[in-house]
Amino acid sequence: MEKKEFVKKPKWLQLRVQGDGNTANVKNLIRTLNLHTVCHEANCPNRMECFARRTATFMILGRNCTRNCTFCNVTRNKPDTVDLQEPENVAKAVKTLQLKHAVITSVTRDDLPDQGANQFAEVVRQIRKYNPDTTIELLIPDMSGKEELLDIILETKPDVLNHNVETVPELYSKVRPAANFLRSIKVLDYSKKKGLKTKSGIMVGFGETEEQVVNVFSALRKADCDMLTVGQYLQPTKLHIPVTEYVTPEQFEKYREIALKMGFKRVNSGPLVRSSYHAEPI
């Protein structure tokens, strides 16, 4: 079997993330309430900055996913039982942390009849009950494109509806084999037509071309998507799809300028940008 060679990380990505007292307090609270955050699960390099800005991203519906995206570090095991106490616990955590903006995401739950839509909706209701001034962003799976499931979520009127396309359509079979690019665009288009502010994100470094990336921007703008994030793919383990290229900061800035000219209201583009980075609503 041919051994895969690793592309060495450039200096702009060789950062050491150090903890502080605030980070430890957040970890303890999350553990006490039996919750999960993407910030810690993914060891996000931006987490201390986000905590300082009083934002955090909670991952609901367990830690095990029903899909097999080759870039993602979330495990693909037997899905967890839905925790009916989770929505209130998320709301309590938001209150304790005094978050100005809460981002809620989840693993994909194709095994559930509602694919987790009602859990998303209940989380929104509980956050608003405990934290009426906190803005809410939902980063949702595609719900198999089923409008009746999307409606359950959209009727709660989150401040931002986020759904990531993740990569260019030409690489979906390699990167997101169980997903569909056009279905993701339709999710964003449907959400926008329901009157919500919409957002999407793409990772680069899989071997895509600049033209392909800009074509994704164009498809998102045709769906009237408001906000965009562009970040560098980083291989979580040797078992995941390898990095083909480390995109330069200059190229990320070029992507930002192109996207703004195309009409996005906000664009965060950089090597360490993640979907919930500087996630406050426009």
Edge-to-edge strand list for the sheet holding 55-60: 55-60, 101-106, 135-139, 160-162, 198-204, 227-232, 266-269
Task: Tell whether residue 50 is among the known ligand binding residues.
Answer: yes
Q: 225: annotated binding-site residue? A: no
Rounded-to-integer distance, Cα 259 and Cα 272, Å:
18
Least confident of 76-85, 98-107, 206-215: 76-85
- pLDDT tens for each residue of 239-282: 777 899 999 999 999 999 999 999 999 999 999 998 887 676 66
- Please count the residues of the chain: 282
Quick one: CATH architecture of 20-269?
A: Alpha-Beta Barrel (3.20)
Question: pLDDT tens for residues 156-214?
Answer: 999 999 999 999 999 988 888 878 999 999 999 999 999 999 999 999 999 999 999 99
Domain extents in the chain:
20-269
Q: Which tokens in the block code for residue 64?
A: 């095990």
Per the model's pLDDT, the better-predicted residue between 77 and 67 turns out to be 77
Residue of 262, 212, 255 whose CA lies nearest to 232: 255
Q: Which of 32-36, 73-77, 109-113, 194-198 has the lowest mean pLDDT?
A: 73-77
Identify the pLDDT of residue 1: 37
Is 144 a known ligand-binding residue?
no
Look at residue 129 in the predicted model and tell me its pLDDT: 98
What's the sign of the alpha-carbon dihedral 112, 281, 278, 190? positive
Provide the pLDDT confidence category of residue 224 given band limits of 50, 70 and 90. very high
